[in-house]
Amino acid sequence: MSVIPLSLARRLAPALWPLRRLCERGWLREADVDLCLRLLHPVLRVQRVFAQVEARRWVAEDMLALTLRCNGNQHGWRAGQHVQLYLQQDGVRHGRSYSLTAVGGDGRIELAIKRQPGGRLSNTLLDRLDVGQVLELAPAFGELQWPDDGRPVLLAAAGSGITPLLGLLREALAQGFSAPVTLLHQVRRQGQRAFVEELQALAERHTNLQLRWAISGEGGGRIEKEELDGLCGEHLIACGPRGFVERLQGWWERSGSLQVESFTPPEPLAVGESRTLSLRFARSGQQVTGTNQRSLLEQAEANGLRPAHGCRQGICASCTCTLLSGVVRDVRSGALFAEPHQPIRLCISAPHGDVEIDL
Ligand code: FES
């Protein structure tokens, strides 16, 4: 139930700055103010981003595009970035990152969600999220950018890696990009090719756009070096599972830029002998036995805590937490951090000895 329409709620958002100031100074409790605002419209909040589902559209046999309209608190989001989306299930708040395939000036955004075997949140969103429902979103993150020198671009995606690339492609073509651009999409089955009709319509309208698909599970094979070498493109933007983007990185020898993004976490560096140690989660008042072999995020979750997180690979910063004492190791580089009261990212930090964190 809403007292005012969403369009009015969005127009109200900039006028809420005095309330924001009072909350920031601690003179009002943000949760109390939000409780009052949501009586006017379920998306209305002082600072947090909430959005209402406006449309659902199947764009492949296992992928759904969701159009959402945000409450006016989202700023500077770009197509091709990712946002963490939250949903309450059985009293537990679950979150997962999805790519922005479109960002409109009117607060409308589009996200694409792929069905994941055993994926609790994704599958709930696909099967049970209705038009009109309200969701919370965290600030957008992600660095992929369309190159600005006007030279030919090659886009290579595997699976749901198509989604940020589609966001970038739509914007570049809408802004008049006229050099050759090739989109290469590797999927297991024909029916998993996403946004096919829209892409074909784009290719008819923009003769500089070439489309290629590799159907890896139906005898068509994966994208190989020879195929990549034969395609026009000075810049490569690739997104997919880690193995896919690493193969492309290894093959890329041209002078233009190379941007890659993977949605599978990096393999942690080997750290030698496994040790047990003590972990203290100060705010939760828990002291547990841990290991130097797993990230603090995994170990906190294994002990029943629910730290905020997004990408699980050190990009989005949503798992940032304060190190109170002890030494942690960056699992990607092996670097050690011991300065008390410094922010650390739980998903890429493993304890190096006994550790206390503000969680
Ligand atoms: S979850 Fe994104 S940086 Fe840790």
Task: Produce one character per residue of 302-336: b if its CB has 16 or more CB atoms within 10 Å, e if not.
Answer: eeebebbbbbbbbbbebbebebbebebbbbeeeee
Global confidence as pTM: 0.82
Q: How many CA atoms lie within 13 A of 187 on its CB side?
A: 22
DSSP conformation class of 270: P
Query: pLDDT 10s digit of each residue in the chain, 359 long?
Result: 788 999 999 999 889 999 999 998 889 999 999 999 999 999 999 999 999 999 999 999 999 999 999 999 999 999 999 998 988 777 777 788 899 999 998 999 999 999 988 888 889 999 999 999 999 998 888 889 999 999 999 999 999 999 999 999 999 999 999 999 999 999 999 999 999 999 999 999 999 999 999 998 867 778 888 888 888 889 999 999 989 999 999 998 888 889 999 877 666 666 678 889 999 999 999 999 999 999 999 999 999 898 888 778 888 788 899 999 999 999 888 888 888 888 999 999 999 989 999 99
Q: Which atom of ligand 1 is nearest to the CA of 346?
A: 4
pLDDT score, position 271? 66
CA distance 119 to 159: 15
Distance 30 CA to ligand 1 centre (A): 25
CA distance 52 to 33: 20
DSSP conformation class of 13: G
Distance 331 CA to ligand 1 centre (A): 13
Structure tokens at 275: 């040790």
CA distance 220 to 325: 54
CATH H superfamily, domain 50-142? Translation factors (2.40.30.10)
* Residue among 97, 141, 311 to mutate when testing ligand 1 (max atoms within 8 A of CB): 311
Q: Which residues line ligand 1 (CB under 6 A)?
A: 309-312, 314-319, 345, 347
Distance 346 CA to ligand 1 centre (A): 7
Sorted by where each begins, the domain ranges of the chain are 1-47, 50-142, 153-262, 276-357
* Residue among 318, 321, 330, 349 to mutate when testing ligand 1 (max atoms within 8 A of CB): 318
Query: What is the full DSSP assignment across 221-264?
Result: ----HHHHHTS--SEEEEEESHHHHHHHHHH--SSS-EEEEESS
Show Cβ contacts of residue 40 under 8 Å, excluding neighbours closer than 6 positions. 2, 3, 4, 9, 12
pLDDT score, position 207? 96
pLDDT score, position 269? 60
pLDDT score, position 316? 79
Distance 141 CA to ligand 1 centre (A): 10
pLDDT score, position 344? 92
- From the options 3.40.50.80, 3.30.2270.10, 3.40.640.10, 1.10.3720.10, give the CATH code of 153-262: 3.40.50.80
**Fold (topology level) of 276-357:** Ubiquitin-like (UB roll) (3.10.20)
Amino acid of residue 58:
W
pLDDT score, position 318? 82
Distance 115 CA to ligand 1 centre (A): 22
* Residue among 82, 97, 315, 357 to mutate when testing ligand 1 (max atoms within 8 A of CB): 315
Distance 166 CA to ligand 1 centre (A): 23
Distance 243 CA to ligand 1 centre (A): 20
Strands 181-187 and 209-215: parallel
Q: Which atom of ligand 1 is nearest to the CA of 311?
A: 2
Distance 280 CA to ligand 1 centre (A): 20
Torsion angles phi and psi, residue 294, rounded to 5: -130, 155
Amino acid of residue 75:
H
Q: Which atom of ligand 1 is nearest to the CA of 317?
A: 3
